[in-house]
Structure 1
Amino acid sequence: MTNSAMAERIATGAGFIAALDQSGGSTPKALKLYGIPEDAYSSDEEMFGLIHDMRCRIMTAPDFTSDKVLGAILFERTMRDTVEGIPVPTYLWENRGIVPFLKIDKGLEDTENEAQVMKPMPGLDALLADAKSLGVFGTKERSVIHAANPDGIKAVVSQQFEVAKTVCAAGLVPIIEPEVDINSPSKAEAEAILKQEILSELSALDASEKVMLKLTIPSEDGLYMDVADHPNVLRVVALSGGYTTDDACARLSRNPKMIASFSRALAEGLSHQQTDAEFNAALGSNINKIFEASK
């Protein structure tokens, strides 16, 4: 797996990045939306097995190919697992032409200054080395901003770029994700502050340190255009943040230098009970909508 080919695909390819990285905390909700209630499993192993089955169903679907999907963000268990007997990162790149990423954050600290920074990541260097050896191209790490509090936003962005430098040093490309809560009454103001903090941190990077940004679709259309044009930025991608697929796609289409990286919107309408034909049709419809909005 050549990083240069993956980098070229991410930087210039048409399509979007699928988020298949539900963690232990968000898996029960994802399974419930998929039609599997919590009383259908009795252990974490069963739960993770069921979500892996769902992810495999997505990854092997006819429309889940490089024609419209650029990359896929994986949970650590998924990265270490297989699909059709092949290690997941290898399957994605060699069988589907899709660039693999890894979610590395361990969740969020409690809210302080109206923002949540990431919890400590023990063993990060070893995890990054494993990811690189398995053919993963980059990482994804999420924080959350709840309001236009300059101190909280600065803390989030500072920590994100500190982790990003560690990821870059390991030979991977970080996706920096400082999510702004879509329900925040000061969302637009928070995004304006966030943009300035991001540009400040980008200006301090070495030329060799390439990053990506995963950002809430902004209230002001085109807000992140100059972030996308920064020489250290490979791509700016958008999270759906709880918007429906149609709403997220409509908002994204008004931001021409952002492409999608959706999780809930990608899986909307998918059900464990569907036949393969029904499942593939529903997924294909979501993929087409998200692809068109990412053009």
Structure 2
Amino acid sequence: MNEKQFDKVKNGKGFIAALDQSGGSTPKALAAYGVLENSYSNEDEMFTLVHDMRTRIITSPAFDAAHILGAILFEQTMDREIEGMYTADYLTEKKDIVPFLKIDKGLADEANGVQLMKPITDLDELLKRANERHIFGTKMRSVIKEANEEGIQAVVDQQFEIGKQIIAAGLVPIIEPEVDIHSADKAACEAILKTEIHKHLDQLQDNENIMLKLTIPTETNLYRELIDHPRVVRVVALSGGYSTDVANEKLKANDGLIASFSRALSQDLNANQTDDEFNNSLEKAVKSIYEASI
């Protein structure tokens, strides 16, 4: 593990940028960026266009280490290059930003009020490649929709089981059991989730460290105990569909919680903007999310 990167993620001021839209969410992300589905005719062309979008974000002067601690990448982004360097190397060497990799394969069908992760059948190979590409950590997402104790327990069990494999590979896992912001039981879901996560944290060894990516809680500072737990490197918040302004306001109320926003970071960016327009829009989003995070 890169100790300099570990210290930056644990103690640095800033937020984690989520640039990890994958197969299912890529057309929606491109459309929001002003690239419609008639602009590409197959998956390869689609992923090239989304890599162009991410390259424009990452190479922008607004995307800087003064505000951004890390960036979460999609697998294809990890394997592509920016200015002749693999993306993670570009982030590390040119930007001093810590690279993470989204490793989940999407969500299983809903059961017991939750969606577990689909099996990650190539996990060992993927973690090997992540190390070869100089990735620091990983991210994997489940979704909780109802306050079903059995379902939430299954989500957390699965996340920590795979998280231990990731730790054994020398990487830091970001465990992301997202609570749906539209859940009628959101606060109850979060109370159960906190209890289950705490149980697993207390079972980790002194050399086993994780990060958490959680929905901004209904009860302010609900996750303070998790943020302060010795096995937790950092707790980051997902925007969950909130607009940038709403997500920032909710985030500001929670001490020690920092952002890991995706849509809220890129919502005002467009393929048709001039470089100045693009960079100014990105700078505005970056600075607002940074201010909410500190």
Q: Which residue of 2 aligns with 1:210?
A: 209
How many angstroms does 1:118 deviate by? 0.3
What residue in structure 2 maps to residue 20 of structure 1?
Answer: 19
Question: d(CA) in 1 for partners of 2:2 and 2:253?
Answer: 31
Aligned length: 294
- Aligned residue for 2:267? 268
Instruction: Supply the distance in 2 between the matched residues of 1:285 and 1:247 (Cα, whole angstroms).
Output: 15
**CA distances 1:206-262 after superposition (whole Å, capped 9, x unpaired):** 111100000000000100000011110000000000000000000000011110000
What does residue 147 of structure 1 align with? 146
Q: 1:142 is paired with a residue of what secondary structure?
A: strand
The secondary structure found in structure 1 opposite 2:131 is: helix
State the secondary structure of the residue aligned to 2:284.
helix
Correspondences of 1:122-271 after superposition (within 5 Å): 122-271=121-270
CA deviation after TM superposition for structure 1 residue 63, in Å: 1.3
Distance 2:279 2:83 in 1: 17
Cα shift at 1:84: 1.0
Report the TM-score, using the length of structure 1 for normalisation: 0.99
SS of structure 2 residue aligned to 1:17: strand
Tell me which residue corresponds to 2:87: 88
What RMSD over aligned residues (CA atoms) do the two structures have, in Å?
Answer: 0.6
2-structure distance, mates of 1:126, 1:278: 41
Q: Which amino acid aligns with 2:40?
A: Y
- Alpha-carbon offset, residue 35 of structure 1: 0.5
Q: CA deviation at 1:69?
A: 0.3
Aligned to 1:49: 48
Q: Give the Å deviation of 1:39.
A: 1.3
Identity within the alignment, %: 57
Which contiguous aligned blocks of 4+ residues in structure 1 show a shift greater than 2 angstroms? none
How far the C-alpha of 1:99 sits from its partner, in A, is 0.2
Verify: 1:71 aligned to 2:70, yes or no: yes
TM-score by length of 2: 0.99
Shift of 1:281: 0.5
Which residue type is aligned with residue 271 of structure 1?
A: N
* Aligned-pair CA distance for 1:129: 1.0
Code of the residue aligned with 2:293 in structure 1: it is: S
- Could you give the per-residue CA deviations for residues 60-109 of structure 1, whole angstroms, max 9, x where no partner exists? 01111110000000000000111111111010011100000000000000
Structure 1 counterpart of 2:150, one-letter code: D
How far apart, in 2, do the equivalents of 1:65 and 1:89 lie? 14
CA deviation map 1:268-294 (0-9, x unaligned): 110001000000000000000000000
2:110 maps to 1:111: yes
Which residue matches 2:2?
Answer: 3
Q: Within 5 Å, give how 1:31-46 maps onto structure 2.
A: 31-46=30-45
Shift of 1:40: 1.2
Q: Determine the C-alpha separation between the residues in 2 that align with 1:39 and 1:150.
A: 44
What residue ranges of structure 2 are gaps of 5+ in the alignment? none
Q: 1: distance between equivalents of 2:82 and 2:242?
A: 30
